[in-house]
Structure 1
């Protein structure tokens, strides 16, 4: 009696090809994820040039460690985690990630406090990139990557309370930027 085996998925074939060191499979994996991962790196890096460096370093790690990928999560999630960790390590090395351990009092803002519609992705990314590195890191890790404050504290070597405080401060700064931009737009429309 012949047993039927489940056919391998395209992702599984891609992973196996990368493990085998097949350049065309590595290129395919890179092409498949590069755009999304560049957006991840841009959220952490202060410049496009540094984001490109981070992404390149991270993809080297992806290819060097893909044999260790346990397949207990989606491949994209695993690659994203490498991108984030590489960005954090890169920024620590450049001493761009300096963290204040002082608590800062900022009122809580809800998502309803401001609307993001009407802003391009580039405008929003620019606002996030203009945050101080410590605020940008916490904001990205919490709001975009989905880590909780305890995990962020462990990753950055800060307390959970400091992570919460810096996230609140980042949101307040972004709220201020959005309000300023909206006011400038309204003044321009009125004066036209």
Structure 2
């Protein structure tokens, strides 16, 4: 039996196991890549996803329906990932924006990279850079919102984002050059 989102919400809030299984089946594959972007390892992403869905099932009775169910679940996954990473953020040095050089170089081509390769590069970023890059570039948060969420200064958010972009450009450039060098060998 396939439930509508409204029926799923109602049945899940009553603790119906079949509805919970349906909700998980419908949304887990969409939420897993989000958890993966905020983690360093696959197991960590799986833990984030599991913890997020436990929160979903626990709090679905409070869902106000002022957004789509998918968006609400996505917010829970992101917040769970942030809570998971928040304690780690303070283990890594944060770079002040004044320490960064404004690097302008040639435009880089991303079309040579698969989603998995780009995801691997994002996951390679230092934790602070990774979290802020995801929040700003992918989720669309503003730096002042990120600063409030992570209890950091807006300047730190901006500097971590700049550092993430710089590292990603460097890695993409290295990969593009390696591809070019390999092509030149033939």
Determine if the TM-score, normalized by the shorter chain, exceeds 0.5.
yes
Matched, 1:100 2:94: yes
- Give structure 1 regions of 4+ aligned residues with deviation exceeding 6 angstroms: none
**Aligned residue in 2 for 1:181:** 175
Deviation at 1:106, TM superposition (A): 3.8
1:41·1:51 contact (CA, 8 Å) conserved in 2? yes
> In structure 2, what is the equivalent of residue 30 of structure 1?
24
Contact 2:86–2:150 (CA under 8 A) maintained in structure 1 = no
1:86 equivalent to 2:64? Answer no
State the aligned residue count. Answer: 182
Is the contact made by 1:91 and 1:97 (CA closer than 8 Å) also made in structure 2?
A: no
Alignment of 1:25-174 (within 5 A): 25-93=19-87, 95=88, 98=91, 100=94, 102-103=96-97, 104-107=99-102, 113-174=107-168
Q: Is the 8 A contact 1:106 1:165 kept in 2?
A: no
Cα deviation, residue 172, structure 1: 1.0
Task: Measure how far apart 1:35 and its partner are.
Answer: 1.2
**Any unmatched runs of 5+ in structure 1?**
1-8
> What SS does the aligned partner of 1:73 have?
coil
- Displacement of 1:101 after TM fit? 6.2
Unaligned ranges ≥5, structure 2 = none
For 1:45 and 1:57, the matched residues in 2 are separated by: 14
Provide the TM-score with structure 1 as the length reference.
Answer: 0.88
Instruction: Find the counterpart in structure 2 of residue 5 from structure 1.
Output: none
Q: Could you tell me how far apart the structure 1 residues matched to 2:9 and 2:178 are?
A: 49
Taking structure 2 as the reference length, the TM-score comes to 0.91
Cα distance in 1 for residues equivalent to 2:68 and 2:103: 33
Looking at structure 1, the residues matched to 129 and 108 of structure 2 have their Cα atoms a distance apart, in angstroms, of 19
| Cα drift, residue 125 of structure 1 | 0.4
User: Structure 1 residues 157, 64: CA separation in 2 closer, same or farther (over 3 Å shift)?
Assistant: same
